[in-house]
Homo-oligomer: A and B are copies of this chain.
């Protein structure tokens, strides 16, 4: 049995090992991923994002329970450095999560946020595809909602939950830049604390500003109040998630979302591979080294240098007709 067959047959260790190799960008693992890619596409990807401290990991844990209770298999990919899955947080949190670590239908995996964000986003894409082929119905991707790289990772998901907590109305203004737009659902977690209603209505207010028209055909992100620790509001949240799944299906949005994700993934891989290629060339070509040194010495500006390299590449354009 080859690795993909093993993973398809439900071999947890084979899946875990391939994710580890993919995270290290092992060239042989990337070869395997090529085949994994064409076999993927069945799972629903849910992104859970938001600022640190709002209880994202706890909510992920609670959602795992909700989906399992509905007989769905679940995979968790945690890329939040402060997530207990990723090993950043307190032992107490980690113990709370261990409810699910003994359930064989739950696959939990953290991905290091170390290194270039491009590399991380590639690893998350690949790990999601592996869990897909592994047969998970739902894949939860937890990422801290600060920074463009992290927002890009959340966008891999079909359904994005933006998690806030009471008192986070003030930061909304700042978060609007980038993250409000990508949320399909707003969650006010820790809703047992005072101010939950206020945060929810501030969210609703911000929404009214941003989507005034086309009410019938577009999705208006619902606002759900939860307490992951007290297990309240979770049923409502799952109902809204399923509603979003239905919306994606009935409006053919899912194909558009998938295409967008895959095109972006391709372009990310392409730009990385071109840079790698250039660096390899630089390593062995002294003339190129002298040329790049001129940039470092402020004799040649990086824009003109880049235009020159693009010029070289344009000369190869004739070959581009060879599309198979």
A residues adjacent to B (C-beta < 8 A): 30, 33-35, 37-38, 40-41, 51-52, 81-82, 88-90, 112-117, 120, 144, 146-150, 170-171, 173-175, 177-178, 258-260, 262-263, 265-267, 269-275, 277-278, 281, 285, 287-288, 290-293, 295-307, 309-317, 319-323
Contacts and interface: CB of A to CB of B under 8 A. Distances in A.
A42 B57 CA distance: 47
Copies in the complex: 2
Contacts of A271: 271-272, 274-275
A313 B316 contact: yes
A292 to B, nearest CB: 6
B314 A88 contact: no
A298 B37 CA distance: 7
Most B CB atoms within 10 A — which of A260, A307, A313?
A313
A171 B315 CA distance: 51
20 contacts: A34-B303, A88-B173, A88-B174, A113-B148, A116-B148, A117-B117, A120-B148, A144-B146, A148-B149, A149-B149, A259-B293, A263-B292, A265-B295, A270-B278, A270-B305, A270-B310, A281-B320, A288-B323, A312-B317, A312-B319
A315 B174 CA distance: 47
A267 to B, nearest CB: 6
